[in-house]
Every structure is written in C-alpha cells, then in structure tokens.
A = this chain, B = another copy of it.
C-alpha cells in the first residue's frame, strides 16, 4: 500500500473521529460538515469525497464485508439452525468490535442520542442485505422472495443491533458476544417469556 492510500486511510479516520467527538459533545444536529472537515484539516468538499452523508462519517465503514459473511453462511452444514448459523458467521465481526471497544461505545452513545442515526444503523449494510437474504434462501432451498429468508435476515439483524445497544450501556467487563448470544437465544426460543424459562 503506497503513501497515497495510507494518507487516505488517515484522513478517513480523522474525519470519523472528529465527527464522533463533536457529535458527542454537542449533538449531531449542532455540528456542521464544515466544522467536522475543519477539525480534520480538509475542505468540506473533501468530506463528501469520503462519505456520502454526514451520518456515514459517524457510522464508519462496515466491520466485515458482506461477501465473506454470505460465503461462510453457505459453507456451514445445512442442519445447523439458521439462528445458530448466523450467530457463527457474525462472530468475527463481534471480535473486531470488542477489540475496538472504546470507539464503538462512543459511536453507540452518539447513535442513541440521534434518532436519525438509529435508522441508519438499521440499514447499515441494508444495501447488501439482498445478498444475505439470498444466502439464507439458498441454505433452506427457498427463493429470496419467500417470507422465511427475508424474516430471518431482518430478525437476526435486529437481534444483533439490540445486543449492540445493550453492550453500549453495560459495564466495562461485559462482552458483546454475551449480549449477542442472549439475544439470539431469545429469538431461537420464539420470544418465550424468559421469566418462566425454568418451568
């Protein structure tokens, strides 16, 4: 990787860092793209060379590329239940996020305080969601137009996001992986009342 690409990477993370810091201090609505750009020492036009929207600078790049996730999903044995399978293929992403804990906690805090970002979080990777749905469909021998793959995709995604939110408000020793497992288990049990689980 040449000098040019290193610089680009640097600028990109400088922009995200500035966006997160400023949004955390004042709320995203009271931070302009111009201010973020100035804090990262670039023009505001350059900001938009890196991110399509102001929100995107907060969200950063996807943790893992969708293609890898889908490939691994198809490699798993067919008799693994879909919830377990998705949990398995998400594991690398979980590790990456856990390793970057500080960054992610800040990010989640900002997201929580900004409803518009909450939406964005729900669609982060939604562009690629079709591929994910197709992978699930292939696993069970259905088509992407069927209900099951669509539902499995959006429900597992939702469970993951809830786990992220819980992690963000938890203590410093809590592991994201545990929250994700908790959410996924609840989904796998069909949202059975957890308080009567023991009967």
Roughly how many angstroms separate A190 CA and B165 CA in the complex, as a whole number? Answer: 22
CB of A127 to closest CB in B, whole Å: 7
Residues of B within 8 A of A166 (CB): 147, 150
Asked whether A162 and B151 contact (CB < 8 A) given A142-B195, A191-B82, the answer is yes
Q: Are A123 and B118 closer than 8 Å at their CB atoms?
A: yes
Residue of B nearest to A182 (CB): B147
Interface size class of A (residues with CB under 8 A): 35 or more
Q: Point out the residues of chain B lying under 8 angstroms from A148, CB to CB.
A: 186, 191, 194
* Overall SS of chain A's interface: helix
Closest to A136 in B: B191
Say yes or no: A188 contacts B188, CB within 8 Å. Answer: no
Inter-subunit contact A186/B151 (CB<8 Å)? yes
* A159 contacts partner chain B, Cβ-Cβ < 8 Å: yes
Q: Do residues B140 and A195 form an inter-chain contact, with CB atoms below 8 A?
A: yes
Pick the contact of A123: B119, B183, B191 (CB < 8 A): B119
Taking a contact as CB atoms under 8 Å apart, the answer to whether A120 and B123 are in contact is no
Closest CB-CB distance, A182 to chain B, in whole Å?
Answer: 6
Residue A141 is within 8 A (CB to CB) of chain B in the complex: yes
Kindly state whether residue A126 has any CB partner on chain B within 8 Å.
yes
Shortest distance between the CB of A135 and any CB in chain B (Å): 14
Flag whether A132 is at the interface (Cβ < 8 A).
Answer: no
A191-B85 Cα distance, complex, nearest whole Å: 12
B-contact bits for A106-119, CB 8 A (1 contact / 0 none): 00000000010011
CB nearest neighbor in B for A83? B191
Report whether B126 and A194 are in contact in the complex, using a CB–CB cutoff of 8 Å: no
